[in-house]
A and B are shown apart, each in its own frame.
Chain A
Amino acid sequence: MQGCLALEDGSVYAGLGFGAEGVQTGELVFNTSMTGYQEILTDPSYHKQIVTMTVPHVGNTGINPEDVESDRVWVAGFVVRALSPVVSNWRTQGDLDAYLKAQGVIGLSDVPTRALVRHIRSRGVMRAAIAHGEAAQDPAALVEQARQSPDMSGWNLVDDVTCAEPYNWTERSDPQWYRSHRYDPAGPLVVAYDFGIKRNILRMMTDRGLRVRVVPAHTPAADVLAMNPAGVFLSNGPGDPAAVTYAIQNVRDLLGKTSVFGICLGHQILGLALGGRTEKMRFGHRGGNQPVKNLLSGVVEISSHNHGFAVTPDSDLSGAEITHINLNDNTVEGLRHVGLGAFSVQYHPEASPGPHDSLYLFDEFVSRVKA
């Protein structure tokens, strides 16, 4: 059935709708990963974003229950060039169309995605409305809806995605996917702030012998310290980090009192807590092929990214050093404050989807909390 994507600048892309019917708005972004659409769909960091995949064929391997990063689909809409008419994989349990329908998420296929991506690349990310069904017949109204939707800058989306109650995470990864695997159930305790945490981050920690307690984003630092953790983890998540002021304050309160490790939004929040600034990027980094150089070792990691904000390199970080940069555009990708026992990366060492080059960061966290 008819579908449509309308951008705030007035551009309109027609396509064939799939998944749920209706209209949704969000920030239009693109992802260059060639695999891992399920992980992307269920990554809470994509909350309120309409994701365009650059790889043309999507849905080929269907839906595999263990490939999700949270308990639901978070993207506001999903745009592809060619929805696979068939699923083929030994693990598959269903198809993408039915899955999105069940999750109430709109998909759009047969879109000239390369032209769309080039548009975003040159103009920057923008708000858009995605429609499937009757609503798609009025593009002008959709453009207006896009214009009326909230801007990502200044928007706190963590509140939408964080867990309601604390819980213990015990699941570890399926050994078939990782070459090295060690599990120590009696390891030190780590408290993980859930700003929209991906399950594979949790698995990477339990795999390495950490006991993990996940807490809601609002949990005060004092409550966390009361649990006497060996370390605190700051998770990834959606929206503008600067808008999550309570989290920034909590981290300030934690710094120096326990080891801190942050990923993505957690990295940005650490940067802000250290006194730095964050800025919105033109179109961000979303993909599994980004070259990040570890300035301490000189080694380049091919890494998984999903961020539209970044820590400003020239901001005052209270003596923290920049440990990682993106070689494509010199974006700050990692921070370390030795004195305060905190470090963070902007990208996703847990991958899922993406290469496993950066898993060593979890080992580093483990050695810090065990020290």
Chain B
Amino acid sequence: MPRRTDLHTLMVIGSGPIVIGQGCEFDYSGVQACKVLRREGYRIVLVNSNPATIMTDPEFADATYIEPLTPEMCERIIEAEQPDAILPTVGGQTALNLALALHQRGVLEKHGIELIGASLPSIELAEDRQLFKDAMTAIGLKSPPSEVVGSVEDALSAAERLGYPALVRPSFTLGGSGGGVAHDQAELREIAERGLKLSPIGQILVDKSLLGWKEYELEVMRDARGNFVVVCTIENLDPMGVHTGDSITVAPAQTLTDKELQRLRDAARAVLDKVGLATGGANVQFAINPDDGDVYVIEMNPRVSRSSALASKATGFPIAKIAALLAVGFTLDEIPNDITRVTPASFEPSLDYVVVKIPRWNFEKFAGVDRVLGPQMKAVGEVMAIGRTFPEALQKGIRALDIGMVGFGSRLEEAPPEVLRLPTAQRLFQVASALFNGMPLPEVAATTGFDPWFVRQMADIMHIQQTIIGKKLTLERLDAADFRKLKRCGFSDAHIAQLVGVDETAVRDRRKALGVTPVYYRVDTCAAEFEAFTPYLYSTYEDGDEAEPTGRPKVVILGGGPNRIGQGIEFDTCCVHACFALREMGYETIMVNCNPETVSTDYDTADRLYFEPLTAEDVLNIIDVEKPDGVLVQFGGQTPLNIAHALAAAGAPIWGTPVETIDLAEDRERFNALMRELDIPQPEGATAMNKSEALAAADRIGYPVLVRPSYVLGGRGMALAFDADMLADWLDKQITWGAHPVLIDRFLDDAFEVDVDALCDRQRVTIGGIMQHIEEAGVHSGDSACVLPPYKISMYHIEIIREYTQRIGKALGVKGLFNIQFAIKDEVVYVLEVNPRASRTVPFVGKATGHPLARYAAQIAAGRTLDEIGFLEEPRVDGFFVKEAVLPFQKFPGVDARLGPEMRSTGEVMGHASGFGHAFAKAEMAAGTALPLDGGVFISVNDFDKGAVVKIARDLHKLGFALLATSGTAHWLQTVGLPVTPVNKVSEGSPHIVDRMRAGDIQLIINTPRGGQAHADGALIRGTAHLYGVPIITTMSAAMAAVQGIKAMKQKPLRVRSLQAHHGRG
């Protein structure tokens, strides 16, 4: 069937902020959908609250709305744009839920809007646990014995019947939010209560746990004619019990016979038929009993998902793009396979390689979190590696993680069976240790639940490692055959160097001298049956190189690797922009990255894609083959910068700001000297190489102090110390003293902080945007809300900031982007830090100003001047743009949800409006914590904030809110004549504040932490607020902003406006 001509305007819903369980894979899927539907001539209206995405670049849609993903706001957009249909299947669970909500409110019906790509009954059937289970039974498929319940008591009685351990899964949540394994009644009570809260329909499923069963996933597609294909089979290394997003997974499935595989394929097809998925992509998860092959259906997602992004990258079959085409009426056989060109998309990819996906966690940022993996996803990112064999792919994946592991067995430790039994982030490496230490293979398989097939392959890796160590082999004794064997097993040069006791360069030199270099094979969807026209490449050590580099002028762009807190989608967006800019300039663009969620690793983004780890070895191998004119390391965050030295030392042509300049900005002593020379104030600071130096420096500077290790991103390990005891304690726990010093700075409490993104071509500086943080100093810039333009800073200070920015950019000789953080305290403007690279805020500034700074930066790196680019004036910002951070505390019960100097947010949203209040209110709404218009406000502040809180309380009272407060704060507010209801602290007994929250008496919480200590009561309040979705404000400046927001909303309703209309291009 040809494309539908009865549809003209299509609305695509994005997935909103990056959160655990819903990452940038939906930027990838959304971009694909928007691109291909526009190419087909449809008018695209995009709505997504996340400004860091590529899809919200104005060029990907006809009307781009960066607005909260709520039914109310969406309805306003629908009223303005009158779409004919909505595509809700490329924006994750968020988009599906939003589509359902629009339907339930009658919006779809009222405006005559069709849902394409999914039908409402099928969404409901797939998402409602009981309906799905019944449907499976009806078609003769088994699902785990389970009961759907709506109360804790029912959950307990269900578990009595099903037996412990019991698996709890809430309905309609993403990433398994609120799920857990309960081993007894007490655990079940807690998990069930949390799950019921998090399920939008107050429903949970209590399953018989299939702990230890093998888990498989089929990524499938079907079209309106009933054509059905399995794009990819995925086998989890971790058995059932670990969320698939937290599992190491392998494609294609390795331990199924054809009969078993076809049985799953038939079942998956029957599931799709039953659920009624008419067109599009879906995944179906199965559990298989390793002892008798019994098959259970676990779940089905009727949409593009995280695993479909993985499957797309793993096979070269672009699921989201094809799903979008199917949704508008095409059939699979009408869509060509981009890679082979001659064959259609109605086929099943055949893989002649092995793909391994390994999740990336950030547990170190969340003190108190339960690190054991379970049914609720905890990973913040992932890497994918491609190799010809499982050992090769596994070891490539491990080094791609960027966690200091250069190979499977590169960090050996004691690993007793009781440790192996627990699924954790470390288990993979503990298995390496156990194998090295001689644990029998069957015991490893039995304790971990890993299939013996994988265990044996892992043992083979460790056997090679043992041979090198046992024979005390030296580098000179490794011949070409040895190297070939090591490389074919995935050993990195760095790991070999570690094993033979030399440095990595020596290994590389010898390997190359022996002629052992990788070849590059193409990911071609067809196991070489047809020619591949798309240079989507991975390395291996075999014969027959397929890289076929061109002789064109070319630039290599290094991506950011796995997403993690502090280094996320923003950097991928910058890399993609760099790519687009250089392509426009006529360069061939070559992307190197290993993150399957991203737009940068779409084979359609750069001219050539190397899906490889971002290590010096892997990148230098590519440079050897491609011989690029330039290499860009400044766009992918810290990961590419970490290898910039090694690349430069090996003669790679690094473009843009030189590595030495980046070093200068990181080197505290040299940077301080430069600031003194430029006469720019900095907070007093010091570097310390040991504990006593640190304590002495802090004494000299005066508490509170900010401490952190050098060379980190995202405030990793940064802390605020209020006294010597705290500092000593932190140093003992966090620091391993070595080559890098610890930085100690005076903490400018109560200062305003400002972020500046600017461009410099070594001659001139143009500021891209000046953002004021809404939270005061002490909250990491990545976790603070910020506003562009500043709303509370005098012109005088802004002028100083501008002038300092000019001075610093030129003095450093930046060639591209740089970011400066300033603080203003007592009328003095201080420089806190300078980063001569793309920053996290660059995409946000781009959306607010209409100027794609990363594109300009790439052009500068390629030799253009700001004058030639035509960007000489700081853009004037029309209205206010507020960026708000989104934090993962809901996923980590037990972690204190207060903001601090360590970045912990996973994502961001943007709100924009002509006034600050509306913009802030929208940002909060988009972040999922909409400001209330009435109800009760609970106030509990530290003594320091008591002065400031009076005005806030008075304003809220005038706005009609009931005031509640703990005794101290209540007493204080009463003395200034405000009516306040005192509420017990938890420690004072029921009914206390948490009871009042549960009872629904509280719609907003203003709670500033007391001093340096995490207060038990405060932590409980914050945790409960996150659980119940009550907005919680932990700083006075944010409270003031919230009052402005509430006031603005009460005066005038929120309005929506597309970026194109805003920037006058609509």
Contact = CB atoms under 8 A, between A and B. Distances in A.
Contacts of B262: 177, 351, 353-356
Which has the most chain A C-beta neighbours within 10 Å: B257, B290, B342, B352?
B257
Contacts of A354: 258, 262
Interface stretch (B81-89, B411-419, B523-531): B523-531
Interface in B985-999: none
B388 interface: yes
Given A115-B542, A328-B347, A60 B258 contact: no
B528 A88 contact: no
A291 B347 contact: yes
30 contacts: A32-B352, A34-B233, A34-B351, A35-B261, A36-B257, A39-B258, A54-B527, A56-B354, A57-B354, A57-B390, A60-B453, A64-B257, A67-B258, A86-B452, A90-B291, A112-B543, A112-B544, A114-B521, A115-B543, A121-B528, A121-B530, A177-B263, A287-B527, A289-B350, A291-B343, A302-B228, A302-B346, A328-B342, A351-B262, A353-B258
Given A88-B452, A179-B140, A300-B333, A61 B352 contact: no
B461 to A, nearest CB: 12
A82 interface: yes
B407 interface: no
B259 A67 contact: yes
Nearest to A122: B531
A114 B541 CA distance: 12
B332 interface: yes
A113 to B, nearest CB: 7
Contacts of A121: 528-531
Interface in B475-528: 521, 526-528
Interface of A: 30, 32-36, 38-39, 54-57, 60-61, 64, 67, 81-82, 84-91, 112-115, 117-118, 121, 176-179, 287-291, 293, 298-300, 302, 327-329, 351-357
Contacts of A114: 352, 388, 521, 527-528, 542, 544
B351 A91 contact: no
Interface centre among A61, A81, A87 (most CB of B within 10 A): A61
B332 to A, nearest CB: 6
A35 B528 contact: no
A229 B140 CA distance: 36
A89 B293 CA distance: 9
A302 B258 contact: no
Contacts of B130: none
A32 B350 contact: yes
State the 10 A-B residue pairs at the shortest beta-carbon distance, nearest first. Answer: A115-B544, A36-B258, A54-B527, A353-B258, A86-B456, A88-B453, A289-B348, A35-B258, A32-B350, A112-B543
Contact of A35 (B225, B256, B266, B293): B256
Given A112-B543, A300-B333, A355-B265, A291 B527 contact: no
B160 interface: no
Given A90-B293, A291-B344, A352-B258, 19 more contacts: A32-B352, A32-B527, A34-B233, A35-B257, A54-B352, A54-B527, A55-B351, A88-B453, A118-B544, A177-B262, A288-B258, A289-B347, A299-B226, A300-B332, A300-B346, A302-B230, A327-B343, A327-B347, A351-B262
A237 to B, nearest CB: 21
Contacts of A54: 350, 352, 527-529
Contacts of A33: 258, 350
Contacts of A353: 258, 262
A57 B257 CA distance: 13
B624 interface: no
B347 A290 contact: yes
A39 B348 CA distance: 19
Interface of B: 140, 225-230, 233, 252-259, 261-263, 265-267, 270, 289-293, 331-333, 342-344, 346-354, 388-390, 451-453, 456-457, 460, 521, 526-531, 542-544, 546
Contacts of B529: 30, 32, 54, 117, 121, 287
Nearest to A110: B488
Nearest to A55: B352
A293 B293 contact: no
Contact of A88 (B292, B293, B451, B530): B451
A178 B270 CA distance: 12
A269 to B, nearest CB: 26
Contact of B227 (A30, A34, A300, A356): A300
Contacts of B353: 56
Given A32-B526, A289-B348, A300-B333, A60 B255 contact: yes
Contacts of B257: 35-36, 38, 61, 64, 67, 89, 91
Nearest to A287: B350
A150 B546 CA distance: 33
Nearest to A40: B258
B255 A61 contact: yes
Given A56-B352, A91-B293, A289-B349, A112 B270 contact: no
Contacts of B265: 355-356
Interface centre among B258, B344, B451, B457 (most CB of A within 10 A): B258
A333 to B, nearest CB: 14
A352 B259 CA distance: 7
Contact of B388 (A81, A290, A298): A81
A114 B267 CA distance: 32
A112 B353 CA distance: 12
B229 A57 contact: no
Given A81-B388, A86-B452, A356 B266 contact: yes
Nearest to A66: B259
Contact of A57 (B254, B259, B267, B528): B254
B935 to A, nearest CB: 54
Contacts of B452: 86, 88
Nearest to B521: A114
A112 B518 CA distance: 13
Contacts of B521: 114
A51 to B, nearest CB: 14
Contacts of A113: 352
Contacts of A85: 456-457, 460
Contacts of B230: 302, 355
A1 to B, nearest CB: 16
A46 B352 CA distance: 21
Nearest to A88: B453
Contacts of B460: 85
Contact of A89 (B255, B350, B456, B457): B255
A87 B289 CA distance: 17
Contacts of A302: 228-230, 346-348
Contacts of A81: 352, 388-389
A327 B346 contact: yes
A263 B267 CA distance: 26
Contacts of B291: 90
A183 B295 CA distance: 24
Contacts of B233: 34
B352 A177 contact: no
A179 B270 contact: yes
A287 B352 CA distance: 12
Nearest to B531: A121
B70 to A, nearest CB: 41
Contacts of A88: 255, 451-453, 456
B803 to A, nearest CB: 60
A90 B343 contact: no
A294 B631 CA distance: 50
A70 B785 CA distance: 69
A54 B225 CA distance: 31
A34 B350 contact: yes
A123 B226 CA distance: 37
Nearest to A36: B258
Contacts of B253: 35
Among B347, B351, B527: residue with most chain A CB under 10 A:
B527
B516 to A, nearest CB: 14
A56 B389 contact: yes
A67 B293 CA distance: 15
